[in-house]
């Protein structure tokens, strides 16, 4: 069966520090991969998605970037975090078109 791993579960970072969140998927090949952010009391906002290695689409302008160095690995990064980057970050994967996305357990990021 397919599983998705996301870490760390919680992270506290100072403003201006770098960020690297990692997500890996097991049990499937060539998944579509996604990064979402959920702000307090809001829905999930799609940040990036990828349909293959090295292919990244950005949905909103922001201080973050994403990379997909391997088929089942998706990384969310920032060179210098802002206070507004605080939130709950979720990674997800899906198979073919019009298939449900399946989410990891998320990372709670707090910027001080």
Partner 1 sequence: DQQVKQNSPSLSVQEGRISILNCDYTNSMFDYFLWYKKYPAEGPTFLISISSIKDKNEDGRFTVFLNKSAKHLSLHIVPSQPGDSAVYFCAASGDGNKLVFGAGTILRVKS
For partner 1, which is the closer residue by CB, 78 or 101? 101
Count of residues that interact with partner 1, criterion CB under 8 A:
27
Q: Find the shortest distance in angstroms from Cβ 1 to partner 1.
A: 14
Q: CB-based contacts of 74: which residues, under 8 Å, 6+ apart?
A: 22, 23, 24, 25, 33, 34, 35, 50, 66, 67, 68, 91
Q: Is 40 helix (H, G, I), strand (E, B) or coil?
A: coil
Q: How far is the CB of 104 from partner 1 (least distance, A)?
A: 5
Measured from the CB atom, is 43 or 54 closer to partner 1? 43
Q: Of 81, 76, 69, 62, which is closest to residue 104 (Cα–Cα)?
A: 76
Based on the shown chain and the rule CB under 8 A, indicate whether residue 43 belongs to the binding site for partner 1. Answer: yes
Interface residues for partner 1 in 9-28 (CB under 8 A)?
9
Give the pair of three-digit tokens for residue 1: 């069966």
Cβ neighbours for 96, distance < 8 A, ≥ 6 positions apart:
none
Stretch that binds partner 1, among 14-22, 31-39, 66-74, 76-84 (CB under 8 A): 31-39
Q: Does 94 bind partner 1 (CB under 8 A)?
A: yes
Residue 5: strand, helix, or coil: strand
Q: Using CB under 8 A as the criterion, which residues of the chain lie in contact with partner 1 when the complex forms?
A: 6, 9, 32, 34, 36, 41-46, 49, 51, 59, 90, 92, 94, 97-98, 100-106, 108
């Amino acid at each position: 069966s397919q599983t998705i791993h996301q870490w760390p579960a919680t992270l506290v970072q100072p403003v201006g520090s770098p960020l690297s969140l990692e997500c890996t998927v097991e049990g499937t090949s060539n998944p579509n991969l996604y990064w979402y952010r959920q702000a307090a009391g809001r829905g999930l906002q799609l940040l990036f998605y990828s349909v293959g290695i090295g292919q990244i689409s950005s949905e909103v302008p922001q201080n973050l970037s994403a990379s997909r160095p391997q088929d089942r690995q998706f990384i969310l990064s920032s060179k210098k975090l802002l206070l507004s980057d605080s939130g709950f970050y979720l990674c997800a994967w899906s198979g073919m078109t019009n298939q449900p996305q399946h989410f990891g357990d998320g990372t709670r990021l707090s910027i001080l």
